[in-house]
Amino acid sequence: MAQRAQRRLHLNAFLMSTGHHEASWRLRESDPHAGTDIAHFVRLAQTAEQAKLDSIFFADSPVLWGSVAKRPTSALEPTVLLAALAVATSRIGLIATASTSYNSPYNLARRFASIDHISGGRVGWNVVTTAGADAARNFGLDAQPLHDDRYARAAEFLDVAEKLWDSWDDDAVLADKAAGVWGDEERVHPVEHTGRYFSVRGPLDIPRSPQGRPVIVQAGSSENGKDLAARYAEAVFTAQQTLEDAQAFYGDLKRRTAAVGRDPESIKILPGIVPVIASTEAEARRRDRELDELIRPEYARNELAGVLGLSPRDLPLDAQLPEDLPSEDAVEGAKSRYTLIVELARREHLTVRELIGRLGGGRGHRTIAGTPEQVADALQTWFDAGAADGFNIMPATLPGGLDDFVDHVVPILRERGLFRAEYEGATLREHYGLARPIPVRAEAVPA
């Protein structure tokens, strides 16, 4: 019990337009224009902040993703969205995805440093390599770079970004009005990076930010993805359907992190869950089913076919997946997502129609439909069983699903001593119990 009182779980709210369920926009209460409405996101951010969640998160891919007929698209670019939300909130952490394949390190490092300043140290970056040829074609390429190359570029991108964030010493700004010396040129260092993918002179054009560096988040669960996370990530988003899989992933990633010489506590693992909450389990299940019934299977099948590298004609709705799918090794797109989908279908002998229902709710994440107690129990079980340091909450509907979670589940977690009653720190790092990074240069200098 003393143990439990000390180990607290972390909660991130993963937000997107009308919610994670692909048919959520069709509900009467949903605003189908929510994806471009800043007032909608301000309300969500403030709701999450009132509940003292660690952070909110926005996913991203620099491409029109999927079918516009099917659902509202991702909409507002997340780095500018975070900046807007930074001034509408004061404590909650703010995390956005950005791609290492389709950005330059200088531009992206500056934007994150700037948002860290604007928010007073509350920013995090979900580092992704961006799967898919459609995104590549928005950036002068015919096809996506190979999976290995994307991850090699991601690692070098992070090296450059860290050097840029560290290019100003924490005490570089002297502001000596009498002498007329604003910054100390000896404490602002060129980066002089030359590597396989990038050559960047630096220094960054902004003083070191409150957190030193943004919190680095990672969400790829392939072998490459886990290796990248072990080296760089401080939080990890992952989709896990069963407790056993989640425990295996958790143990594996903590071991990899230790193996590269890092403290396993310095990486927080957050499986995603889609809560569908009602006062009875039957009512929650009914809500979940009603949402699934609003899915238009033809649109969803087109997308599924894309992920599996098949034609929609290969996927009759009432049959199971074809037998002869390639192994993950042969996939160049999002490897871990591919495997998760195929394994889910095989394990539960799902037809394409059933699989679409499962994915439509949370795109591969675990849906928990039940009472607030049942949802809290499910979270606690995974947390206590070494499967999670916290959770990525992906409401099926928004704003309603977030309201339900913070109004009904968070108080139970709090009562059980599993979740904070007040913010204790000021920065995103402090919310997650992460240390402020020591500058790379300082590390390099002999003591």
Ligand X SMILES: Cc1cc2nc3c(=O)[nH]c(=O)nc-3n(C[C@H](O)[C@H](O)[C@H](O)COP(=O)(O)O)c2cc1C
Q: Are 86 and 115 in contact (CB under 8 A)?
A: yes
Single-letter amino acid, residue 232: Y
Q: Which is nearer to a copy of itself, 296 or 416 (CB)?
A: 296
Q: Report if residue 75 touches a copy of itself, rule: CB under 8 A.
A: yes
Do 426 and 304 form a contact (C-beta atoms < 8 A)? no
Q: How far apart are CA 164 and CA 103, in angstroms?
A: 15
The residues pairing with 248 across neighbouring beta strands, listed in sequence order, are none
> Among the candidate windows 44-52, 56-64, 170-178, 425-433, which touches ligand X by CB under 6 A?
56-64
The residue written with tokens 């309603």 in the block is 400
In the list 30, 47, 61, 209, the residue contacting ligand X (rule: CB under 6 A) is 61
Q: Determine the 3-state secondary structure of 15 from DSSP.
A: coil
Of 89 and 126, the one with the shorter C-beta distance to ligand X is 126
User: In the complex with ligand X, which residue's Cβ is closer, 9 or 334?
Assistant: 334
- The yes or no reply on residue 425 touching a copy of itself (CB under 8 A) is no
Of 117 and 231, nearer to a copy of itself (C-beta) is 117
- How many angstroms separate the CA atoms of 198 and 426, rounded? 34
Selected binder of a copy of itself within 1, 3, 6, 28 (CB under 8 A): 28
- Binding-site residue total for ligand X (CB under 6 A)? 24
Q: Which of 436, 443, 441, 440 is nearest to 186 (CA)?
A: 441
Span of 1-9, 58-66, 105-113, 371-379 interacting with ligand X by CB under 6 A? 58-66
Task: Give me the helices (H) in 265-318, please.
Answer: 281-293, 297-308
Nearer to ligand X, 301 or 337 (CB): 337
Main-chain phi, psi angles of 136, to 5 degrees: -55, -40
Interaction of residue 256 with ligand X, rule CB under 6 A: no
Span 12-41, contacts to ligand X by CB under 6 A: 14
Q: Residue from 64, 385, 438, 442 that binds a copy of itself (CB under 8 A)?
A: 64
* Dihedral class, residue 19 (left if φ above 0, else alpha if ψ from -120 to 50, else beta): left
30, 100, 241, 336: which one binds ligand X (CB under 6 A):
336
- Do the beta carbons of residue 82 and residue 122 sit within 8 Å? no
Which of ligand X, a copy of itself, none does residue 340 bind to, with CB < 5 to 8 Å depending on kind?
A: none
CA-CA distance, 13 to 25, in Å (whole number)?
18
Tell me: does residue 221 bind ligand X (CB under 6 A). yes
Amino acid at residue number 349:
H
Q: How far is CA 377 from CA 382, 386, 391, 407, in A?
A: 9, 14, 13, 16
User: Of 141 and 442, which CB lies nearer to a copy of itself in the complex structure?
Assistant: 141
Scanning 59-67, 147-155, 244-252, 303-311 for contacts with a copy of itself by CB under 8 A, the matching segment is 59-67
Task: Write the interaction track for ligand X spanning residues 73-112; mark x where CB under 6 A is met and - where it is not.
Answer: ------------------------x---------------
The answer to whether 142 and 149 have CB atoms below 8 angstroms apart is no
Contact status, residue 23 vs residue 96, Cβ threshold 8 Å: no
Q: Which does 238 bind (CB under 5 to 8 A by kind): a copy of itself, ligand X, none?
A: ligand X
Taking only Cα atoms into account, the Rg of the chain, rounded to an integer number of angstroms, comes to: 22
Report which residue type is found at 375: V
The least CB distance from residue 55 to a copy of itself, in Å, is 18
Residue 272 engages ligand X in binding (rule: CB under 6 A)? yes
Our finding on whether 423 is near a copy of itself (CB under 8 A) is no
| CB of residue 85 to a copy of itself, shortest distance in Å | 8
**By CB under 8 A, is residue 294 in contact with a copy of itself?**
yes
Point out which residues bind ligand X (CB under 6 A).
14, 59-61, 97, 126, 128, 130-131, 219-222, 224-225, 237-239, 272, 334-337, 392
